[in-house]
Amino acid sequence: MARILITGIVTISILGLLLWQYFHGEVPSHHILNRKDMPEISNWWGGLLLPLLTWLLLSKIENRVSKRDPLTPQVKNQNIKVWGLFLLGLIFGIVLAASFMNNYKPLLDNVFYIFLALSLIVPVYYPEFILGFVLAMTFTFGAILPTAFILIIAAFGFLLYRFIRPLILRVTKVVSK
């Protein structure tokens, strides 16, 4: 039920944004990598992608959370983690979008490194982080570019969190003995 409600809210929101943009000039298009020699992607595609992406990511979240026994106290903790990762993705997306809009170079020049460091601490490849990030950046960049960007980052994040992080933790445990 929550998946339908949230997807409906996202659908109405993105269609409202697109209609507002349409009736106030035009629906913007964005060049890949912000370079004029690269192809443009219209924000209209977000009207299709964002509801679909929301539905798929919420399905992944529900499947992962529902695998737990609902009577264990870990389920409440799991829900807090889901919301925490969603909010972290949302906040990071807002900060990144605001930095781009204000041309704040120190953050923009180091986004990839910040994501790599963050990937060692939290699983940025989880669907709730991805959804929060894409939703936060949709107003500034449309839905397509943030989705492509975060999927690349999520692939690196998966490798770092699942393989490099355990090695670092093991080495620090051995060194601390």
CA distance 142 to 160: 28
Q: What is the pLDDT of residues 122-171, one digit of tens each?
A: 999 999 999 999 999 999 999 999 999 999 999 999 999 999 999 999 99
The phi, psi pair for 42, rounded to 5°, reads -75, 145
User: Can you count the helices (H) and strands (E) in the chain?
Assistant: 8, 2
* Strand-pair partners of 40: 31
**Secondary structure of residue 70 in the 3-state scheme:** coil
* Per-residue pLDDT, 74: 66
**Secondary structure of residue 4 in the 3-state scheme:** helix
Q: What is the pLDDT of residues 62-71, one digit of tens each?
A: 998 887 766 6
Q: What is the pLDDT of residues 23-61, one digit of tens each?
A: 999 999 988 877 889 888 999 999 999 999 999 999 999
Supply the pTM of this predicted model.
0.90
